[in-house]
Amino acid sequence: MNTTAHAAPTPAAASQRAGCLIFVAALVAFATFDAGSKYMISRYPPTFLNLMRYTAVALVGALWLLRAWRGRARGAQAGLAAQAHGGAPVPARAGAAGPRPTGLLVVRGLLLCAVATCYMTALIWMPLSEATAIYFTAPLIMVALSPWLLRERVRALQWLAVAVGFGGMLLVVRPGGDLPWIGTALMAAAAICYALFQLATRRLAGQTPGYVQFASTTAICWVGAALPAPFFPLAATPGAGELLALLALGLCSGIAQVLLIVAFQRVAASTLAPLNYLQVPMAVAYSTFLFNRPPDLEAAAGIVLICGAGLFLALNRRA
């Protein structure tokens, strides 16, 4: 008698499932960081919050660099041992040797610095849900800019999705509505800079190791937060508990970035792209239940349009 056994998941399938879960965990960490920043922005200036954030992120980056250097040292020792015993030299890992810094690497760091500054400052005036929705027009902006900056062809349906997404942003913003224009402008600037940041990241893909991009970007963002910090003095010195909370928020952001890189090592970017939009309902939930600021009906409709357009573009690229 023939019996049908349930096939065990292949290692590739298990790795992909783990990668998707790691990616979702990164999104939860990012949404938590945004909500914590929205809470702290009423007590501390954006420059101080960004400085604390990138101080904590720098600790994560330093640990990553240390691990990478140890890995390279072990690889070099293994190669020397193999040669000493007459064996073939151990090939160097791809991307193990960090290239010289390039202008594009610096531009990438400056763009993320601008994103952090504009985003954090906009939270002074913007509700979290609407702010996140505007920020998530960045993939639409990236598609709109790619024909000119990457020489990529954009099809008619993709242009239609971009138009629908921007229509959704107009529903969220509603010129003449309740959202403050300065917060809206800053969040739109953050979205544009983040789209350019993503395009720069794509140009650097395969040319610069991930830990080099992480370390250089963190250093630039830290300096970008530290330079203006003396011009925005604190109204009150944070106590030990709040200082630890601020560092924990920064670690949350740094760990989220590392989790993203780990997820992308396991799963194709085209597969993970649609999951990005899970962060928007997370932001809506935080805004509604933590800050008692749910989006109104028009803003909710705009959020749906932005997410729908972004999902269409992500799934279309995946196909």
> How many Cα atoms within 13 Å fall on the side-chain side of residue 227?
8
The CB density around residue 107, as the number of other CB atoms within 10 Å, is 16
For residues 272 and 251, give the distance between their C-alpha atoms in angstroms, rounded to a whole number.
23
For residues 165 and 300, give the distance between their C-alpha atoms in angstroms, rounded to a whole number.
13
Helices 128-135 & 279-289, crossing angle to 10 degrees? 160
Of 217, 218, 213, nearest to 54 by C-alpha is 218
Which amino acid belongs to residue 23?
A: F
* Four-CA torsion 203, 208, 209, 214, nearest 10 degrees: -70
User: What is the chain's pLDDT, residue by residue, as a tens digit (319 residues)?
Assistant: 454 445 556 777 788 888 899 989 999 999 999 999 999 998 999 999 999 999 998 888 788 778 767 766 666 555 555 455 555 444 444 444 444 557 888 999 999 999 999 999 999 999 999 999 999 998 889 888 888 877 778 888 889 999 999 999 999 988 767 888 999 999 999 999 998 988 888 777 667 777 778 888 889 999 999 999 889 988 888 888 899 999 999 999 988 888 887 887 788 777 787 888 999 999 999 999 999 999 999 999 999 999 999 999 888 765 4
For residues 50 and 45, give the distance between their C-alpha atoms in angstroms, rounded to a whole number.
9
Q: In the chain, which ranges are continuous DSSP H helix?
A: 11-40, 46-84, 103-122, 128-135, 138-149, 156-173, 181-204, 210-226, 240-266, 269-272, 279-289, 297-318
For residues 185 and 40, give the distance between their C-alpha atoms in angstroms, rounded to a whole number.
21
For 201, the token pair is 């990241």
Planar angle of CA 87, 89, 93, nearest 5 degrees: 145
**82 Cβ contact list (under 8 Å, min separation 6):** 88, 89, 90
For residues 190 and 42, give the distance between their C-alpha atoms in angstroms, rounded to a whole number.
20
**249 Cβ contact list (under 8 Å, min separation 6):** 33, 36, 37, 40, 52, 53, 56
The residue ranges of every structural domain in the chain are: 14-90+100-318
Report the run of H or E that residue 296 belongs to, with start and end. none
Planar angle of CA 178, 253, 44, nearest 5 degrees: 55
Dihedral sign for Cα atoms in the order 51, 57, 63, 64: negative
**76 Cβ contact list (under 8 Å, min separation 6):** none
Confidence at residue 281, expressed as pLDDT on a 0 to 100 scale = 93
Q: What's the pTM value of the predicted model, to 2 decimals?
A: 0.80
CB-based contact 113:200 (threshold 8 Å): no
Please tell me what DSSP assigns to residue 174: -
Confidence at residue 60, expressed as pLDDT on a 0 to 100 scale = 83
